[in-house]
Chains A and B, each alone.
Chain A
Amino acid sequence: MHEHDVIVVGAGGAGLRAAIAADEEGADVALVTKLHPVRSHTGAAEGGINAALREGDDWELHAYDTMKGSDYLGDAPAIDTFAQDAPEEVVQIEHWGMPFSREDDGRVSQRPFGGMSFPRTTYAGAETGHHLLHTMYEQVVKRGIEVYDEWYVTNLAVTDHDDPEERHCHGAVAYEIATGNVEGFWARDGVILATGGLGQAFDHTTNAVANTGDGCAMAYRAGVPMEDMEMIQFHPTTLPSTGVLISEGVRGEGGILYNDEEERFMFEHGYANNDGELASRDVVSRAELTEVNAGRGIEDEYVDLDMRHLGEERILDRLENILHLAEDFEGVDGLDEPMPVKPGQHYAMGGIETDENGETCISGLYAAGETACVSLHGANRLGGNALPELLVFGARAGHHAAGKDMKTAEIQTGRSAKSEDGDVEPPVEPGAIEAGSSDGDVAADGGERSSSDRRSDAAMVEPKETLEHTVRQERERIESLLEADGINHAEVRSNVQETMTENVNVFRKEESLNDALRDLRRARERYEDVAVADPSRTYNTDLIHTIETRNILDVAEAITLGALAREEFRGAHWRAEFQERRDEEWIKHTMLAWDDGTPELYYKPVLLESQWKEYEPKERSY
């Protein structure tokens, strides 16, 4: 068993920042990651880091832009905290050596970005995330923080109290990929989940193969509510073959979108008569799919993004990396021909419910970054707000877990914050498949204790006992996956991904959402029969992917249930039956709690007021 004060799960931007913060407070902290830190997907972020640094700008303006961008589904205490902490965090990483792009006077450059009322986006070329990730990992090395790389955390060690808000997280269980060892990690002060995105729930995504929603799924099954899971951002310009992102910068520089009839459809079909190609991401994504659905797509699949008219010199100067991406990943020369693009899943605004200090309703369990939902982005994330989020809330979670004295959070978490029961009628029963036999199918159940187990083992509240129990359970789950004879998880995973992209995409209809829930139920049933064909203990990625697929199933279902519940059009969430924002009823968060295998839907109010400011919902027009 390994012992540390703070265990951070995941070593991308949020995890690294959290670990450094805990170290700053003197805690013994360890990072546990299924990759090596520099392989994390923060490295793929292109755009930038928003912060109000300069004269004429102000954190309140950044906060206002963010609240408006969220379509009034962000919580004011989270947004205000974020906008106030961001400048200090950006200067901090500059002091750590981040190679920012510079102005003539040697200061950090800032550029305009969509939805921002001031040019406050700092950046390092078009590789901002890469530099941020490496800069922070360097500081982790400097501090000698322990890193368990290629250790896959499969479950959390959480006590057994009936009420999730009485539960305590004492650590995590991880599988060493190189050797097949399963070990407990005892966290004396806290576990911070920083596992990143969940894009692999979709079959066309800009996310890495490793972004399988592990943190969300583990916290969900441990009793932490998932918040606003339906809020998924689709990026309008991704390459059709791979989902590789073509930055907004191309359209920013003047790139034009054409349909199969060579029409500049953003204007010619009236999707955005003012902003055209530069309208917000959700608007452009819907326009593209509308074109394809109307038969005006190219090869019935995509549209063209043309930048040839910008000229070779300008393209090479400002968009060189785009040429490489199009050539390497689509076999297209952007100087010579238009680039095919279509919308792809890009970012999850929702996630693990936390407060401003990163804490969940389970004491000792924290979350930060994309896996978390402190409710900063609400219904729509603005470009350049994800990187400062992982800095600000990674740092806060790390400090708080390490015992720093911080202000009590304004945001309430857990079921005690419930304002209203949810009403959603899924066509099939969601949640875990009831264990068929008396001993329960631990493998298929994702390591969740069955309710009977919970009752018979009610004394499981001591830290070590909780951890040891979870270790035993995970060893059993892994053994049974290795021993069993069954189908390959890849079939189940692609079933989930296909139905999500088909039915829970940019356009959402009740009927399609119900289809998705039916498909997901079938996928769950099939998952009962998965097994790992590779018998090896050495670097068994078949096993890792099989466990991930269970996590993908849980988050995909949560996204779909949220989408079915929210009967309005807000931010990234569009419903065919309800094509307008309905403030009177829907300024509230959709919450899903996993109650011993059965998801329970409820709502909690959006906080439009913090100790600093009060916001009035306005129309989100640009």
Chain B
Amino acid sequence: MSTIEQETETEETTDESAEPTVESPGERRRAEKQERAQAREDQRVDEEIDHSEETITLKVFRYDPEVEGKEEPRFDDFTVPFHKGMTVLDALIYSRDHYDSSLTFRHSCRQAVCGSDALFINGRQRLACKTQIADLDAGTIRIEPLPHQEVVKDLVVDMEHFYDQMEAVEPYFDADELPDDELEEQRQDRENREKIKMSTRCIWCGACMSSCNIAAGDNEYLGPAAINKAYRFAMDEREGEQRKQERLRIIEQEHGVWRCQTQFSCTEVCPKDIPLTEHIQELKREAVKNNLKFW
């Protein structure tokens, strides 16, 4: 019931105690082992589902470049008992722990702060942990890896490009000067702290980058998250004017802020409600002001 069982179609039930045949290498042994695990899990699932009143169905993207039957992407269905307050992440964990332990996805904090589980859920970038199933208003939930990123396996995408873009904006505080006394803090007024507040909430989940058409077409585009990171420092008055100039030069480059066409898709999907498009626009204005100054 849980997965499309391509392997079991050719070979019916397997004896639990059967020894692996000598002719087959490890591959075959593993395949058989998987089948047996599958049979046991299916039985357990049947028992559990019978007692549950309401269920939902997940349609989950599956892919593994080195496992037979998974080299070609496919979708597997998982039927999961529903309870109030259940999130998409809860349902994925349930599916993995009860049906198929090879179902692979990143997750850790379960509270929308680690940024591990941005996924493409019913056609939109969302954090699985922060998405209430009841809010999706759909009997079947389609779960795919983030679009426009290379899939490593199942729902796991390669984040390296995202991290590279973040690092490209020199994403670290670097004040022109610091107080002499090592026990004296820098001053920052409340308005300035408030100005950078939303930009500091970024959890590096990659939802914005994945939603961005420009990033999809231009691999060198810094992307909303990295530009927001640059904003966070460029607007922080503790750093000083000289550093701000350097920062504006970075985001002004060919694949920087000017690429943004203000489609607002990043802003719409951001799970931390960061006004990304506004931040990009503001940096454009800053850059223009800056260039006029040196004219």
Contact = CB atoms under 8 A, between A and B. Distances in A.
22 contacts: A35-B116, A38-B115, A91-B185, A95-B178, A96-B173, A97-B175, A101-B193, A102-B190, A106-B188, A107-B185, A130-B203, A131-B200, A138-B171, A139-B173, A141-B167, A209-B108, A244-B110, A244-B111, A490-B101, A533-B33, A536-B64, A538-B152
- The 3 residue pairs across chains A and B that have the minimum distance between CB atoms: A97-B173, A106-B187, A534-B102
Interface string A36-74: 101111011000000001000000000000000000000
Contacts of A138: 171-173
A483 B29 contact: yes
User: Chain A contact residues: over half helix, strand or loop, or mixed?
Assistant: loop
Contacts of A260: none
A39 B110 contact: no
Contact of A535 (B30, B105, B113): B30
Interface in B100-133: 100-102, 104-116, 129-130, 132
Contacts of B171: 138, 141
A94 interface: yes
A102 B116 contact: no
Nearest to A205: B110
Interface in A479-496: 482-483, 485, 488-490, 494
A268 B2 CA distance: 51
A242 interface: yes
A335 interface: no
A565 interface: no
A99 B189 CA distance: 11
B211 interface: no
Interface in A87-141: 87-88, 91-92, 94-97, 99-102, 104-108, 124-125, 127, 130-131, 134-135, 138-139, 141
Contact of A104 (B26, B66, B190): B190
Nearest to A105: B187
Nearest to A95: B178
Interface in A229-251: 239, 241-245
B196 A99 contact: yes
Contacts of A102: 188-190, 193
Contacts of A36: 159, 163, 204
Nearest to A482: B30
A79 B14 CA distance: 61
Interface residues of A, number: 72
Interface in A459-503: 482-483, 485, 488-490, 494
Nearest to B154: A539
B213 interface: no
Contacts of B101: 488-490, 532-534, 542
Interface of A: 35-36, 38-41, 43-44, 53, 87-88, 91-92, 94-97, 99-102, 104-108, 124-125, 127, 130-131, 134-135, 138-139, 141-142, 178, 208-210, 239, 241-245, 325, 328-332, 482-483, 485, 488-490, 494, 531-542
B118 to A, nearest CB: 12
Given A35-B108, A244-B110, A490 B97 contact: yes
A135 B196 CA distance: 14
B183 A242 contact: no
Nearest to A90: B185
A95 B193 contact: no
B289 to A, nearest CB: 24
B136 interface: no
B156 interface: yes
A141 B167 CA distance: 8
Contacts of A108: 185
Interface centre among A97, A125, A208, A332 (most CB of B within 10 A): A97
Given A95-B186, A241-B85, A533 B102 contact: yes
Contacts of B66: 536-538
Given A531-B33, A533-B102, 10 more contacts: A44-B114, A87-B183, A102-B188, A124-B200, A141-B167, A178-B152, A209-B109, A485-B33, A489-B101, A533-B101
B116 to A, nearest CB: 5
Interface residues of B, number: 78
A241 B86 contact: yes
B265 interface: no
Contacts of B29: 483
A488 B188 contact: no
B144 interface: no
A539 B156 contact: yes
B85 to A, nearest CB: 4
For A35, A38, A105, A241, which residue has the most chain B Cβ atoms within 10 angstroms? A38
B185 A38 contact: no
B140 interface: no
Interface string B164-202: 000100111111001100111111111001001100110
Given A39-B114, A91-B182, A533-B34, A99 B200 contact: yes
B204 A38 contact: yes
A39 to B, nearest CB: 4
A241 B111 CA distance: 12
A195 B66 CA distance: 31
A306 to B, nearest CB: 18
A134 B132 contact: no
Contacts of A92: 182
B173 A88 contact: no
Interface in B270-292: none
Contacts of A96: 173
B84 interface: yes
A197 to B, nearest CB: 12
A328 B132 contact: yes
B228 interface: no
Contacts of B98: 490
A493 to B, nearest CB: 9
Nearest to B152: A539
Contacts of A494: 97
Given A36-B159, A490-B101, A328 B114 contact: no
Given A102-B190, A106-B187, A485-B36, A44 B152 contact: no
B104 A539 contact: yes
A536 B153 CA distance: 10
B134 interface: yes
A41 B115 CA distance: 11
Contacts of A39: 106, 108-109, 114-116
Given A97-B238, A178-B152, A541-B104, A535 B33 contact: yes
Nearest to B163: A36
B65 A538 contact: yes
Given A43-B113, A531-B33, A533-B101, A38 B203 contact: yes
Contact of B114 (A38, A95, A135, A483): A38
B138 interface: no
A536 B64 CA distance: 8
A92 B185 CA distance: 8
Contact of A539 (B83, B114, B153): B153
